[in-house]
Chains A and B, each alone.
Chain A
């Protein structure tokens, strides 16, 4: 149980285009989902926290208009990188916290590698 999927696994796009990444909790409901980015050989950096049915909370320094997050249901959150540029190339990982869980354990998706040319 507690499986999180991400789609796509990797994506290569041209500069200036937008890319949407989906994060799904497959066998549980997730009240909260988190989006991280990870640069090579670095730790995870939290970008935003997404609660179902409400606006995402962004970490300081993360542009809301560039990284659009939608958490439309208890099993799906999407991250759209708008007008992507090469500096947005990174490994994006989502995680989900199970509804009704009594602690903050998060279940991580397999990640999406974004390369912007």
Chain B
């Protein structure tokens, strides 16, 4: 079964600092999604990465995908308190395995402190 691991699981960082969240997965896939979840809420789509080398940026967040390394990163630049949330990556293995569904990572709970 496809495994998706995120690192770290918990992250506390000061405002203004930079950090990277890693998402490793165990099977071939060239499609990966990043989501944000606030407490008590559902998932909000952040990025859709559809090919090797894809890089997308929105505000202080930048996501990239390296399908050869089976790795995606979510980089946070100059963190602000509003970014505090849980971030999930999800792998779409449809072309590798034919699976219809997404496989979610464990989540990274980010807390940005003043």
Interfacial residues, chain A to chain B (CB-CB below 8 A): 32, 34, 41-44, 46, 49, 93, 95, 103-111, 113
Contacts and interface: CB of A to CB of B under 8 A. Distances in A.
B37 to A, nearest CB: 9
A105 to B, nearest CB: 6
A49 B43 CA distance: 18
Nearest to A106: B102
Interface-central residue, A34, A42, A108, by most chain B CB under 10 Å = A108
Given A46-B102, A110-B42, 19 more contacts: A34-B101, A42-B107, A43-B104, A43-B107, A44-B43, A44-B88, A44-B104, A46-B101, A93-B42, A103-B48, A103-B50, A104-B31, A104-B94, A104-B101, A105-B45, A108-B35, A108-B43, A111-B41, A111-B42
Interface residues on B, range: 20 to 34
Interface in B25-74: 31, 33, 35, 40-45, 48, 50
A23 B50 CA distance: 27
Interface of B: 31, 33, 35, 40-45, 48, 50, 88, 92, 94, 100-102, 104-107, 109
B100 A105 contact: no
Given A43-B107, A103-B31, A110 B41 contact: yes
Given A34-B101, A49-B100, A49-B101, A41 B109 contact: yes
A49 B42 CA distance: 18
Contacts of B102: 46, 104, 106
B106 A109 contact: no
Main secondary structure, interface of B, reads loop
28 contacts: A34-B101, A42-B107, A43-B104, A43-B106, A43-B107, A44-B88, A44-B104, A46-B101, A46-B102, A49-B100, A49-B101, A93-B42, A93-B43, A103-B48, A103-B92, A103-B94, A104-B31, A104-B94, A104-B101, A105-B33, A105-B48, A107-B45, A108-B35, A108-B42, A109-B42, A111-B41, A111-B42, A113-B40
Contacts of A103: 31, 48, 50, 92, 94
Contacts of A32: 100
